[in-house]
Chain A
Amino acid sequence: MQISLQQVVPDFFETGKSNGSQLWNQSLSFSTGENIHIVAPSGSGKTSLIHFLYGLRKDYSGHILYDNNDIKNFDAEKFSTWRQQNISIIFQDLRLFTQQTVLENLEIKRLLFPYHKESRITAMAKRLGIENKLTKLCSTCSYGEQQRIAIIRALQQPFDFLLLDEPFSHLDENNRQKAMELMQEEATERKAAIILTDLKKIDYFQAERMLYL
């Protein structure tokens, strides 16, 4: 799978704001197997970019293509197919079902298009140190724990692209590394690409391409 950007500029950008960006208003493509690191300060449109790529928002000019299909023409049904099998995401604002247990949050994603067996959830939770939280309500978990739940949830499906929007903002260094290792292993297993946005460069993310917004 390939994701292509053709002169994409957010509608809300003031004229000239995209000047000097290596991504906005450029033509470039990302392919499976690549690791792409996008670094930018706050307010430069990192979250907007991830939302554009995932198809949550359409307030931009230019085109984003999944293979050769312009996603502005997709309806909700078509997006659901791509999201089940080709693109997974970790939102900056996590987007968990706070009134459900941790396990329910993970299972609802896994069951949609199962890539792993249920036992793998426990193994992943153990690896990221939240195995004792599985039966707890999500709302009772700390933000750092919820961030790890969101990471594990994103890994329950098949994907060609894993979109990460500042996924470690509330994790300590040790947990960041563990989570990154897990995600890279899972991406490698699927021969998938990772697109990671963050405020600064993350050393333990082995990126082939580094882009500044």
Chain B
Amino acid sequence: MPLSYKNIAPFLKAGQNKVSRWLSYIGLGVGVLLLLSSVQMYTNINHLIRDKNSRKSGTDFISITKTITNDNMGKDNRFTDGDIKELQAQPFIDGAAPLKANAFKVTANAGNMIPFSTDVFVEALDNNFIDTVPSGFKWTEGDEFVPVIFSSEFLEMYNVFAPSWDLPQMSEKTASSVQLFLQCHGRDGNRQYKAKIVAFSDRINSILVPEKFLAQQNKALEGVENVPASRVFLKTKDANNPQLLTYLAEKNYHVNKDKTKFGRVKGVLQAIVSGLAGFGVLVILLALVLFSFYLQLMIARSKDNLQLLLTLGYSPGWLSKTVAQKWIPVYTAIIVAAVVATQLLHLGFQHFVTPARDELPLLIDWIVLLIAILLLALSIAINYRLVKKSLLKL
């Protein structure tokens, strides 16, 4: 029969201090529950708020400008190459591309078909940042027309005021078939190009032309090569990431508040939940300290017997392992109970707080289970080291 805790149990005077032992068990249970449910809540909040704004690709695109105030009003508030590089270097930003603007004047008209003419601005953006890029969105000198990507919102605005100006309202399809003329005027001359709307964009409020067209006209008509951008487009996994919002606020960059409003709520909620998790960790530490007092007291009370066991040939390693293992079932039960309670709280949260949603997973996050397993291993390791240290001191 191999030796077990049962054999040495009569030699350990353990039963005298039940109150502190039970208090430590309860403390551990409460602490673990607080920590696990906070972590679960944290992932729930992330999940719910990210889903609000995310595209199907799981990436958010937002445009930023420098905030114009009375102090900086007359200055150049465009983005420098350094600004863009710094944005690209941030861990929470997956990409940053400037919206290059025209340095020359542009007037758009629809020829004789629709008696409408207006000054417009055109911009160019890295194709990777545009949601709808048709294959024909490129231009070389001599092409029949310049392809244009038009903001869906601009078409909507046009359709709003078109009737009062006796202009025809247009569907996206009709607008795409209209022949446009772009009159480009600059210091060094005038040019006219035929243009055609090849796509509509929900993402970008602008009139986009191919980068090559814009660069060539800027150079030919105004003699400029790199026009600094007033707007920069950011690609990020989560536009509501509080880190991103804090960074943008610190840099005094302006961003569409509607796209990021959940970020501020999320920041507050995450702070509360993090606070709770921190409190949970504190309670766990206190419970472990309390249990260590119980163990130390037990060892002190059984000092003579333990000393004699060591003298007779019992190994300190075996004794520590055996004494520490004794609490594995208790610790496992406490932590499993906390995991079950976290699962119930998670189901309750789904049922009462987000009753109309089915977007939260039914089961708790794997990270919660991982933390539970780590806590169990940590508690056992701490007990083992404590017992061994105390035994070697005897």
A residues near B (Cβ < 8 Å) are: 56, 76-77, 79-81, 83-84, 95, 97, 100, 104, 107-109, 111-113, 157
Contact = CB atoms under 8 A, between A and B. Distances in A.
B165 to A, nearest CB: 95
Contact of B392 (A76, A81, A108, A111): A76
A77 B310 CA distance: 9
A84 B311 contact: no
B308 A157 contact: no
- Chain B interface size band reads 20 to 34
Contacts of A97: 11, 305, 308
Given A97-B305, A111-B1, A111-B3, A80 B310 contact: yes
B311 A77 contact: no
B23 interface: no
Given A76-B392, A100-B11, A109 B316 contact: no
B369 to A, nearest CB: 36
B7 A80 contact: no
Contact of B7 (A76, A79, A83, A111): A111
B316 A76 contact: yes
Main secondary structure of the interface of B (DSSP, over half): helix
B362 interface: no
Contacts of B318: 80
Interface string B364-394: 0000000000000000000000000001100
Given A76-B315, A83-B313, A97-B305, 16 more contacts: A76-B392, A77-B315, A77-B316, A77-B317, A81-B315, A95-B311, A97-B308, A100-B11, A108-B8, A108-B309, A108-B312, A109-B312, A109-B313, A111-B1, A112-B3, A112-B312
A83 B308 CA distance: 12
Interface string B293-320: 0000000000001001111111111100
A112 B11 CA distance: 14
Contacts of A111: 1, 3, 7
B10 interface: yes
Interface of B: 1, 3, 7-8, 10-11, 305, 308-318, 391-392
Contacts of B314: 80, 112
Contact of B313 (A56, A80, A95): A80
A14 B311 CA distance: 29
A108 B391 CA distance: 18
Central interface residue in B7, B8, B305, B312, by most chain A CB within 10 Å: B312
B103 to A, nearest CB: 81
B303 to A, nearest CB: 13
Contacts of A112: 3, 312-314
A83 B391 CA distance: 17
Nearest to A112: B313
Contacts of A76: 310, 315-316, 391-392
Central interface residue in A77, A81, A108, A113, by most chain B CB within 10 Å: A108
Given A97-B305, A100-B10, A113 B313 contact: yes
A104 B8 CA distance: 10
Nearest 6 CB-CB pairings of A with B = A83-B313, A80-B315, A84-B313, A76-B316, A80-B313, A111-B3
A177 B162 CA distance: 126
B392 to A, nearest CB: 6
A98 to B, nearest CB: 9
Contacts of B1: 111
Central interface residue in A79, A107, A157, by most chain B CB within 10 Å: A79
Contacts of B315: 76-77, 80-81, 84
Nearest to A54: B311
A160 to B, nearest CB: 14
A56 B305 CA distance: 16
Central interface residue in A76, A81, A83, by most chain B CB within 10 Å: A76
8 contacts: A76-B392, A79-B313, A80-B314, A81-B315, A97-B305, A97-B308, A104-B10, A108-B309
Contacts of B7: 107-108, 111
A112 B315 CA distance: 10
Nearest to A91: B311
Contacts of A84: 313, 315
A56 B316 contact: no
A186 B322 CA distance: 31
Nearest to B312: A109
B282 to A, nearest CB: 35
B308 to A, nearest CB: 6
A157 B10 CA distance: 21
A56 B311 CA distance: 8
A100 B12 CA distance: 11
A72 B308 CA distance: 20
Contacts of B316: 76-77, 80
Contacts of B309: 108
Nearest to A83: B313
Contacts of A157: 313
B12 to A, nearest CB: 11
Contacts of A100: 10-11
A146 to B, nearest CB: 14
A189 to B, nearest CB: 19
A183 B7 CA distance: 26
Nearest to A88: B313
Given A76-B315, A80-B315, A95 B308 contact: yes
